Chains A and B, each alone.
Chain A
Amino acid sequence: GAVVSQHPSWVICKSGTSVKIECRSLDFQATTMFWYRQFPKQSLMLMATSNEGSKATYEQGVEKDKFLINHASLTLSTLTVTSAHPEDSSFYICSAILRDYHKGTDTQYFGPGTRLTVL
């Protein structure tokens, strides 16, 4: 249980184009999902919190007009990198919260990541 998928697993695009990455919780519903980016040999950097049915909350320094997040259902969140440039090349990872209402716990389960390369 608690499987999160991402699509695509890798994408190469030209500078100036937009790229959409999907994150799905396959066997549970997730009111909250998160988007991270990770540079080589570094830890995960939180970009934004995605809440179903409401606007995403972005971390300081993350451009909300460049990284558009839509959480239209309890199992799907999308990240669109608009007008991508080479500096946007990175490893993007999503996570979804599995909430145990009985224990009162929230556990983040991560997707496999998407490697974005902008030429």
Chain B
Amino acid sequence: EDQVTQSPEALRLQEGESSSLNCSYTVSGLRGLFWYRQDPGKGPEFLFTLYSAGEEKEKERLKATLTKKESFLHITAPKPEDSATYLCAVQAQNQGGKLIFGQGTELSVKP
């Protein structure tokens, strides 16, 4: 069964304190792994797609990496505005573009 597990459930950081969020997955035929950011009361905002092990993508203070079993979202020197829930999702082959989501990591960055 295709499954996505994110850890930790919640993460509190001080401004400038770098850290990583983990996304472990099992899927029969990975088509893509997606990272989204969701602010309270809003829809998820697309961040990255990773397609193959070893791939990395960066956007401002965020960097996503992918292995055959997990993905990491590294946050370098976070700012309070990075506070949000970060969602990881996998897309399997021959599933019509469906996403299987993890439960999310709620990130809080304190000034």
Q: What separation, in Å, do the CA atoms of A105 and B45 have in the docked complex?
A: 18
Per-position binary interface string of chain B over residues 33-71, scored 1 when its CB falls under 8 Å from any chain A CB and 0 otherwise:
010100001111110010100000000000000000000
B97 touches A32 (CB 8 A): yes
Minimum Cβ distance to chain A for residue B100 (Å):
9
Using C-beta atoms within 8 Å of the partner chain, give the interface range for chain A. Answer: 20 to 34
A112 touching B91 by the CB < 8 A rule? no
Contact of A43 with B46 in the complex, beta carbons under 8 Å: no
Q: C-beta contact mask, B75-106 vs A, less than 8 Å → 1, else 0?
A: 00000000000010001000011110111100
Complex Cα distance, B99 from A95, in Å, reads 11
**What residues of A have a CB within 8 angstroms of the CB of B34 in the complex?**
107-108
Chain A residues within 8 Å of B, Cβ to Cβ: 2, 4, 6, 32, 34, 42-44, 46, 49, 91, 93, 95, 97, 105-113, 115
Q: A42-B103, A110-B46 are known contacts; what are 6 more A-B pairs with Cβ within 8 Å?
A: A32-B97, A43-B101, A108-B97, A110-B43, A113-B42, A115-B41
